[in-house]
Structure 1
Amino acid sequence: MDANVFKQINFGAIAAETEKEYYPKLLLNGYIDNQGYINKIVKGPHFLVYGQKGSGKSAIGARLLLKSKEMGHSSKLYTLERLNYNSFGKISTSKEAPEVSNTRNWEIVLHIAILNFISSDEKVMKSNKKIKELIDGLIQIGAIPSKDIFEIVSKVEKKQIGANIKLASGETSTETSFQYSYENMYNNLREAVNSIELPNDHFIIIDGLDSVITHRDNQRKVLSGLLHAANLINDELHSYRIPLKIIVLCRTDVLDKLNDPNKQKIVSDRGIELNWYQHGIPLAENDLIQMINLRAKIDLEQEIDVFKEFFPAKIENKDVRKFLLDYTRHIPRDMIDLMTKIRDCCTGPISKNTIIAGINRYSADYFYGEIRDELVGILDDKVVDDLFSILQSMKTYRFTFKDMKATMDEMGIKMDLEQALSQLYDIGGIGTVTKKESNDEYSFKFRDRYSKYCSTDEIVIHLALQNALKARGKLERVGKALP
């Protein structure tokens, strides 16, 4: 097939929000769900969807929104992108422990989010007087209608509620009676939501946790409260046979930093992990390979195997599909951008040089920035800058912690190097190498979620980051860096 056909293929966008607005057909029909994630969310107890950044969490939320009419359910998306933690802490003046007050505050916010969701349903409003009264009061203080969680929180903090607390307690508010009013508000909201009668399934999707996580302990406690509150509300709604569920989309490295005594139980019983790494299966059956071929089929409107049709069978004695996958962290976002960059470098028949040119562009223009972006907030900006300066100064792709520490000292940089490398490991920027008798054993977080960085193991930079940092010699040889 003519290479010009390959140049025309739209593999999609790296952000689900963009695909939803501009390429909805790809999001609806070009998403591989061989594990039945959507079905588990819709029909089962699962509400927590977690995975690496770029693993498709937002895509699941966007698909639920796009497929609402087809599947006969209603969905609404809320984001935490503008969440103000200072305002969140002012919802209650309680002196309870943060893990208790944060959960209770989230219950209030999520109950209001539910009422905001159903406030446009005239049948529900007419059939339940209690709900209508609460919604009317929430409208008066501006908490409804709300586009996101930030708007709800900003109106429901103490001072805003004080202007019209009668919506919850039937009384006016004063400074001295606020705590009593707060408890009544919580009870009334909960009672009202648990009396809702809905004709079909409703889903509230909470996204944007990636945008707010930092190294600050307070934020982690607030997000832990969200996870706990969503679980409590979902259990209660289920017990009342109300077909409504709160879905939380969370990055794995963010989830791992949250502290809640019930977290592991929630993860095990109610969680869905988006793990695209598949070891030991035929490459033709790999979900990421299938996703690329499916998207090409949708765009070209014909069955096609992109890799067999356009690419050389092997590069550096490695199947070209394996060669390309090794430049990703085995997530859709990486694979889509890599294929797009190769397409953009195509000027004729696709050769090894064409693919290498695409890898160069992908490594420098996408992968390097993605890794840095994922560290922002978790590490201080200066630490991130210093970390990459040290990596670039190493001039090799594999080294020991001791070697890197010596380079850091020579450069006069002071930082907690082990902590920084642990964070870099968690997002797939580096892996570790354990020397065995027969061969070396490579470990990456995206291969094994429960693996951890160990400073006694050798460090190996991810292939794409090696390329961006120019940490190896000729790119033609980088395929040999990993088994």
Structure 2
Amino acid sequence: MRPGTDEQHRGPANERPLYASLYFGKSDSRNELNDERGDFIRSFVNLRDVVGHVVSGQRTLVLGPKGTGKSALAWYLDASQLGTAYLASVRDASYLPLAEIPRLQTGQPQGPERTVAAWKFILLCNYLELLLKDQSCHLKNRSEVDRVTKLLRQYGFMGDASGRAILNISTTTVTIPIPKLGNVYQRESSPNLNIYSLLPYLEDWATNARSGNRHVLLLDGLDSIFLNDSKYDESLASLVQAAYSLNQRLADIGATGSVVLLLRNDVFNRVALTLPDSQKMRDDFAVELDWRVLSGAAGSNAPLLQLVNGKAARALGIERVNVLSYFPKNVQLGGTRGGEPRFMDSLQYLLNLTRHTPRDLLRLFEEIRKVEESGMFPPSGKGVLSKETIREGVLQYATKYFVGAIENEFAGYEFGAQESQSGMRALKSMNRQLFDRAQYAKSLAQQGVEDPAVADRLLRLLFFAGAIGNSVERRNRPSYLQFYHRRDDADVYTRGRMVLHNALCHAWNIPFDL
């Protein structure tokens, strides 16, 4: 392939801000909001009006792999609500003892229905707390609501401490004393209510609230759950079912709000097997943050590049920035050790260093920006970044960000940190991009882990983390690479050839075989 001209990717240099002045944000949207609130709000890109769909209640499931912007959406809604016609509250589910939810004593026999009721109780407590923050909200039997919610706060079921409260009382049946006034007191014969008996009242108050504002409760932090740990499945399936039934009830009555779950699509696919309405949920109420960009007609107009360009431009207060215009049309591969050089389109080269997610691509552009800002390498003089700047930025991204991002996928690994560390060391010590299961198992054995079952589960995790892919051979047709982050139904094939991600090859100085 012959390199193209720089002019194809470049506009007039004097009309563009310097690349070093572009804004690509931070890895964690919450940190970005806390430290750079104005830039975060200005640079948020509302592609396909996902904000409007969520606020209106049309979409109550936000699905997508880790790093696709689910949390950014939640914190944008939380940060930009002043002066608008909605109120939003973001709850971090990573603080909830998810495995303990099925043990919460609601007053029902143990089983899925009890877990659904427990989740509905948790969601309603937090939803009512949001309603109470709206001074214009009219609540049915307000004095009674205030008395009951005061007790719920004292028990720790409302507010940020709710996770600790659930953990503390998961083995005992919770009873709420009834205030000696109001509708609840008149209708109930017992002086105390358990969680299951209290649910109809909480639901009635939530559904009959009236306000000129919309109310959106978002449950975030579910990305913190280990990808393949089945001990959370019952709890998560019940959470999805509880939110779905609650949202149906809110919609039926014409209530003012909805509950939104931010969930990895792989986790939803797994728990969907136990949900009779899972396909309806996905078809009717889910929005998928899918930024995958394959080689094709979309190219630089693909949504992922629209997001990058929009974020870089809005933080500077200008209409548009074409980030790719700072790069040469093609990037040279090889040729430094006497071999024949190859040239790859810059967009494809950059994407191949990521898992096709906004977080990965923004971090890559940011590390290149830092190198350019440092003045480490002289400018190319052609209005584009020098190849030395790009290569150093890629190396910084691979070593400082990508390796750590893969290691983070092992957080909560049920077989322990030592096994996960051995798995990463084995991957690195092979010192090759193309390998098979036997070669990985041998490298793992050199780390002191000889059980074949361990090799298989580590390969599966590495595949789902985006660290490795399959090299798929096809008879009489070109082979292709399959990475998990590019498709929902992909699964690792441990009997074939596997390929190490390009960014890990850069980080670990492993020769490229492809």
TM-score using structure 1 length:
0.88
Report the counterpart of residue 92 of structure 2 in structure 1: 79
Report the counterpart of residue 266 of structure 1 in structure 2: 281
398-407 or 456-465, which moves further after superposition? 398-407
Shift of 1:372: 0.8
Amino acid at match of 1:367: F
* Alignment map for 1:222-241 (pairs within 5 Å): 222-241=235-254
Q: Say whether 1:420 aligns with 2:458.
A: yes
CA contact (8 A) 1:30 1:295 kept: yes
CA contact (8 A) 1:360 1:468 kept: yes
Q: 5+ residue gaps in structure 1?
A: 473-477
Q: Say whether 1:39 aligns with 2:56.
A: no
Amino acid at match of 1:446: H
Report the counterpart of residue 466 of structure 1 in structure 2: 505
Q: 1:296 to 1:190 in 2, by over 3 A?
A: closer
Amino acid at match of 1:132: D
Given candidates 477, 482, 502, the residue that maps to 1:443 is 482
Q: Say whether 1:288 aligns with 2:323.
A: no
Q: Say whether 1:342 aligns with 2:355.
A: no
Shift of 1:65: 1.7
Given candidates 428, 431, 442, the residue that maps to 1:392 is 428
Please give the secondary structure, in 1, of the residue aligned with 2:485. coil
404-413 or 86-95, which moves further after superposition? 86-95
Shift of 1:471: 2.5
Amino acid at match of 2:479: D
Q: Say whether 1:276 aligns with 2:291.
A: yes
Please give the secondary structure, in 2, of the residue aligned with 1:119. helix
Amino acid at match of 2:506: N
100-109 or 3-12, which moves further after superposition? 3-12
Q: 1:70 to 1:414 in 2, by over 3 A?
A: farther
Shift of 1:71: 4.0
Alpha-carbon distance in structure 1 between the residues aligned to 2:32 and 2:22: 15
34-43 or 416-425, which moves further after superposition? 34-43
280-289 or 270-279, which moves further after superposition? 280-289
Given candidates 131, 152, 172, the residue that maps to 1:138 is 152
* Alignment map for 1:143-182 (pairs within 5 Å): 143-144=157-158, 146-147=159-160, 149-150=162-163, 153=166, 161-162=174-175, 164=177, 170=185, 181-182=194-195
Q: 1:243 to 1:125 in 2, by over 3 A?
A: closer
Residues 231-277 of structure 1 show CA distances to partners (whole Å, capped at 9, x for unaligned) of 11000011111021001111233333435323343223222111101
Alpha-carbon distance in structure 2 between the residues aligned to 1:254 and 1:306: 33
Residues 92-116 of structure 1 show CA distances to partners (whole Å, capped at 9, x for unaligned) of 1656353221111011111111111
Report the counterpart of residue 319 of structure 1 in structure 2: 345
Q: 5+ residue gaps in structure 2?
A: 1-12, 333-342, 380-384
Alpha-carbon distance in structure 2 between the residues aligned to 1:127 and 1:199: 15
Q: Say whether 1:403 aligns with 2:439.
A: yes
Q: Say whether 1:375 aligns with 2:388.
A: no
Residues 301-336 of structure 1 show CA distances to partners (whole Å, capped at 9, x for unaligned) of 44432322x322210222212211110111111111
Please give the secondary structure, in 2, of the residue aligned with 1:439. strand
Given candidates 192, 201, 205, the residue that maps to 2:218 is 205
Report the counterpart of residue 366 of structure 1 in structure 2: 401
CA contact (8 A) 1:47 1:248 kept: yes
Alpha-carbon distance in structure 1 between the residues aligned to 2:202 and 2:70: 29
Alpha-carbon distance in structure 1 between the residues aligned to 2:500 and 2:157: 48
Please give the secondary structure, in 2, of the residue aligned with 1:459. strand
CA contact (8 A) 2:367 2:396 kept: yes
Please give the secondary structure, in 2, of the residue aligned with 1:221. helix
Q: CA RMSD in A?
A: 3.0
Given candidates 316, 323, 333, the residue that maps to 2:359 is 333
Q: 1:411 to 1:207 in 2, by over 3 A?
A: closer
Alpha-carbon distance in structure 2 between the residues aligned to 1:301 and 1:40: 26
Alpha-carbon distance in structure 1 between the residues aligned to 2:49 and 2:426: 43
CA contact (8 A) 1:125 1:131 kept: no
Report the counterpart of residue 475 of structure 1 in structure 2: none
Q: 1:330 to 1:126 in 2, by over 3 A?
A: closer
Alpha-carbon distance in structure 2 between the residues aligned to 1:8 and 1:335: 17
